[in-house]
Chains A and B, each alone.
Chain A
Amino acid sequence: MSKKITVSKAIREGLLEEMRRDDKMFIMGEDMAVMGNVFAVTTGFLDEFGPDRVIDTPISEEGFCGMAVGAAMRGMHPCVELMYDDFITVCADPIFNQAAKLKYMSGGQCSIPMVLRMPMGSGRRNAGQHSQSLEGMVCHFPGLKVVAPCSAADAKGLIKSAMRDPDPVVVFEHKLLYAKKEEIPEDEDYLVPIGKANVKREGKDLTIITWSREVNFSMEAAEKLAAEGIDVEVLDLRTLVPIDWDAIKASVSKTHNVIIVSEEVKRGSYAGEISAQIAEELFDELDAPVERVCGLNIVSPFSPVLEDQNFPHPDDIVKAVKRVLNK
């Protein structure tokens, strides 16, 4: 059985089911309770769970993220939202120095079972401080798990897995996916395991490794390429840490050509990290250099005309595939 709902509804369902299942879970963030979140992810939660478990915070990201860490050390399962992933810079310490590290630094005495949801990505004309894709920065810090779903089903399945995971999990949710309506399974226990990629489309000529919204663009590109006789495989990573290396290895060993597509600033991107790993370990499988297809090394611009230059569109992906295959 399946039904068709939006990605934001799917996330809401996932959170709702887990809140009902686990009374240690609570939700915390700006505009999460009374308003029910700017993307309507928590509408109705306050009524059902009360103000202790659905908490509107002041605009104090460092404070409430740090509090979530403290609560998680006490065995709670906080789910914190940063309204935009760009704001992680004002609460870097609780995420990167505390949530990520306290388990290790205490010799394994505690787990930090918290979830940090972060709307991310370009395309909403929000300019430089509300449009970033900071996967590379977040994945850098050992101790965090990182997921970035592209579909309603994956968003729900991954948020549920994240809530049940004993480690801190950062969930990148692309803002322009929230309104997308898609089929999802009706099963309440539907989970998408953390650390498992999804072959979205099989192909033999080249592998597109991607995640989040760029999966959809890559699928569009794949259709265009198919019409020209180029058969690409689209590998949706879904989880960035731990990365599903088996899936990457299998796909690269089949197609021998790779591009990595993300919305990140190209320099220092997680796409670059994946490229390096492929170069290190799958060198002999490569029939061409790995290409990253990312944003530019610039601040995300405001004007639509400019912003559209700053993330890969399906046509950019098509061009990159042809470049790598020299077609």
Chain B
Amino acid sequence: MAHEVLMPQLGLTMEEGTVSQWIKHEGDEVKTGDVIVEITTDKLTNEVASEFDGVLLKIVAQEGEDIPVKGLLAYIGQPGEAVGGDAPAAAPAAPAAEAAPAAAPAAAAPAPVAAANGARIRISPLARKTAAKLGVDYSSIVGTGTSGRIRQADILAAAEAQKNAPAAPAAAPAAAAPTAKPAAKEAGLDLMEGDTVVKLTGMRKVVAERMLASHTEIPCVTQNIKVDVTELMKFRKMLLAETGRKYSVNDLILKATAKCLKNHPEMRVSFDGNRIIQRAHVNIGMAVALDAGLITPVIRDADKMGLEELADTAKDLATRAKENKLLPEEYKGSTITVTNLGMFGIETFTPIINQPDAAIIGVCATENELDLDDEGNLIKKQVMRLSVTLDHRLLDGAVVAKFEMDLRDMLQNPMSILL
């Protein structure tokens, strides 16, 4: 019997992954430890290595397909060996519910809505109800109803087979896998000449889901404040002269934000249903734009870092984010996020909150502005706007305005950032 290659669980919250690329192809020889497939998941690309020696007999999940955790990707075995899909009746892939880890939902076994190959499963309502009751995974059952619809009899047979099967295969408790989210409905838009269709996958899909959730759940307000950064720019040059290191404006803003946040615990809150969580740490999320979407690595305890350490950390995280090398823990746990579009000349914008943060600080472009000094002389200064979006369930405009004023004042008196 061939070995199954299953979608690994990469991080606690992972529900499904997208097969981004098969490194090995059907018929290729593989050794334990060889990378056979790349999986994009939860903002990252991971390599999956073989746990067996043999030949990649059959690729079940094609590139671009979303497969739930523990879903079947491929078979590895000896040349000529039969694979599961060839003899479904003899080897029902319905694994025992008792193999479920403690995290498995206690109630009715979640019913997969998608077959291993990602297609919608045709199953009668009665069969679905019965499967839930008996804890039978039907994602790979071939139904005996019209159009292959799974009927109650098929579920009962699978349950029977499950009971009679010796020990369930060690690796495959698909029934325990978290329910895959139902795919967003397609409106069936008409295609016009020249249009192409790209499947919503991987990071784009995650970004889409998270942005939608944030934008629909949070009653948000964006407040813009103008900051005179003339002094800050001079301060940057002074730092370059004194330390020989070229700090970015963003580094300085991160440092100021960290310091300011420490003084404003009311800004470090998270909304959780009927609870408000007061965050102890100043963990600053830092939005990093990638070709495939965006990711927000987190600078932990940023308030405890000096400027140099903070700048190093930010640089490291950004670099590794771009190389898809962040660990899942590294993009979790922020309590506020800073996102910067200043380098693109954006004057103001309305950033979307990175849940479960309560606010996000959008940094805009530095611009020249004319003003009059106290004597009425025309002077040139540099200004930059901060666009802060707040979760109005938790924060009110005035509260955030005070925070914004403090942050502005700090940036206008850059020495105070370091002091």
- Number of residues of chain B lying within 8 A (CB) of chain A: 13
Interface residues of B, dominant DSSP: helix
Interface centre among B125, B146, B152 (most CB of A within 10 A): B125
Residues of A within 8 A of B128 (CB): 284
- Of all chain B residues, the one with the shortest Cβ separation from A286 is B125
Residues in chain B near residue A285, CB distance under 8 A: 125-126
Is the CB of B31 closer than 8 A to any CB of chain A? no
Whether A287 contacts B152 by the Cβ 8 Å rule is yes
Q: Which residues of A, 25-56, contact B by the 8 Å Cβ criterion?
A: none
**Contact A256:B152 (CB < 8 A) given known A284-B125, A285-B125:** yes
Is residue A89 contacting chain B, with contact meaning CB distance below 8 A? no
Tell me whether B319 is interfacial, beta carbon within 8 Å.
no
**Shortest Cβ distance from residue B264 to the other chain A in the assembled complex, whole angstroms:** 53
Q: Is the CB of B129 within 8 A of A288?
A: no
Bound CA span A287–B125, Å = 6
Instruction: Give CA–CA (A288, B149) in the complex, Å.
Output: 8
- Best-surrounded residue of A283, A284, A285, A324 (most CB of chain B within 10 A): A284
In the bound complex, CA of A285 to CA of B126 (Å): 5
CB distance from A232 to the nearest CB of B (A): 16
Contact between A326 and B146, CB atoms less than 8 A apart: yes
Interface residue B300 (Cβ < 8 Å from any Cβ of A): no
A180 at the A/B interface (Cβ < 8 Å)? Answer: no
User: Could you tell me if B125 and A283 are in contact, using CB atoms closer than 8 angstroms?
Assistant: yes
**Residue of B at shortest CB range from A285?**
B126
Bound CA–CA A106/B179 (angstroms) = 56
Q: How far is the CB of A288 from chain B (nearest CB, A)?
A: 6
B85 at the interface (CB under 8 A from A): no
Q: Digitize A297-327: 1 where CB-to-B-CB distance is under 8 Å, 0 elsewhere.
A: 0000000000000000000000000011010
Residue B416 interfacial (CB < 8 Å): no
Answer whether residue B127 sits at the interface, using C-beta atoms and an 8 A cutoff.
yes
Task: Say whether A288 contacts B144, CB under 8 Å.
Answer: no
B248 at the interface (CB under 8 A from A): no
Bound together, the chains give a CA A287 to CA B131 distance in angstroms of 12
CB of B265 closer than 8 Å to a CB of A:
no
Q: Is B124 an interface residue (CB 8 A)?
A: yes
Annotate B381-417 by CB proximity to A: 1 below 8 A, 0 otherwise: 0000000000000000000000000000000000000
State which residues 46-77 of A face B: CB under 8 Å.
Answer: none
How close is B50's CB to chain A, nearest CB, in angstroms? 40
Write the residues of chain B forming the contact surface with A, with a CB cutoff of 8 angstroms: 124-129, 144-146, 149, 151-153
Q: Which 6 pairs between the two chains have the least Cβ-Cβ distance? A: A287-B126, A287-B124, A284-B129, A326-B146, A283-B125, A287-B151
Besides the known contacts A324-B146, A326-B144, 19 further A-B residue pairs in the complex with CB atoms under 8 A apart: A256-B124, A256-B126, A283-B125, A284-B125, A284-B126, A285-B126, A286-B125, A287-B124, A287-B125, A287-B127, A287-B145, A287-B151, A287-B152, A288-B145, A288-B151, A323-B146, A326-B145, A326-B146, A326-B149
